[in-house]
Structure 1
Amino acid sequence: MLTLIVTVIGGLVIGLLGKAVAPGDRDHIPLWLTVVCGIVGMFVGSLVYWALFGHDNGSFDGHKATMNNATNGVDWLRHLWQVAVAAVAVMAAAALTGRSKRV
């Protein structure tokens, strides 16, 4: 149950950040879709970061590096990748749902 709560809250935060950095007017998609885009951003962004930078990190803090914990401390670069992927997901959601602002 805690994993579900953390996933939804993390999806909300990453989704809102992704919506904020997405170019153009993307405020017309509903909150639930923003959370879904954030969850997609969290998962896919972590996978991309892991594939590019994290998979060859050695052991630290007594455990091997994993997709969700690849450095000592906070994985700031992983979070940036998550927000970038969420921004792309928000743009795709706005385009697919036809909810982008039309002039």
Structure 2
Amino acid sequence: MTVTGIITAIVVGLIIGVLGRLVVPGKQNIPIWLTIVVGIVAALLGTFIARALGVADTRGFDWIELIIQIVLAAIGVTIAANAYGRRGLRR
């Protein structure tokens, strides 16, 4: 993977992660780096699922792929917020 590919993955991960956070109701107390990681994973898994369903390469913008990625990011943000929030409550 080239430097451009890594930077692109980070930017796309940030966007997908932020969109996933917007979909989840309430406040999520997770750091931005965790949002980026969740977004990157959701973007990769979403692309894989969209390709498996045969909707990754459509004419124009791939709305179905984007929706899959955002839903996965929302699920990931919810899981990360619950796990990260519990970690701070231990004494």
Establish whether TM, by shorter chain, passes 0.5. yes
Please say which structure displays the higher CA radius of gyration: 1
Q: In the alignment, which residue of structure 2 is the partner of 1:41? A: 42
**In structure 2, C-alpha distance between the alignment counterparts of 1:23 and 1:78, rounded to whole Å:** 22
- Give ranges in structure 2 of 5+ residues lacking alignment: 87-91
Q: % of aligned pairs identical? A: 40
Runs of at least 4 residues off by over 2 Å: none
- Give ranges in structure 1 of 5+ residues lacking alignment: 55-66
Q: In the alignment, which residue of structure 1 is the partner of 2:62? A: 75
Give, in angstroms, the shift of residue 83 of structure 1: 0.6
More helix by share: 2
**In structure 2, C-alpha distance between the alignment counterparts of 1:51 and 1:6, rounded to whole Å:** 23
Name the stretch that deviates more: 42-51 or 77-86.
42-51
**In structure 2, C-alpha distance between the alignment counterparts of 1:87 and 1:40, rounded to whole Å:** 12
TM-score (norm 1): 0.75
TM-score (norm 2): 0.84
Secondary structure of 2:82 counterpart: helix
Q: Tell me, yes or no, if structure 1 residue 90 matches structure 2 residue 77.
A: yes
Give, in angstroms, the shift of residue 49 of structure 1: 1.8
Q: In the alignment, which residue of structure 1 is the partner of 2:89? A: none
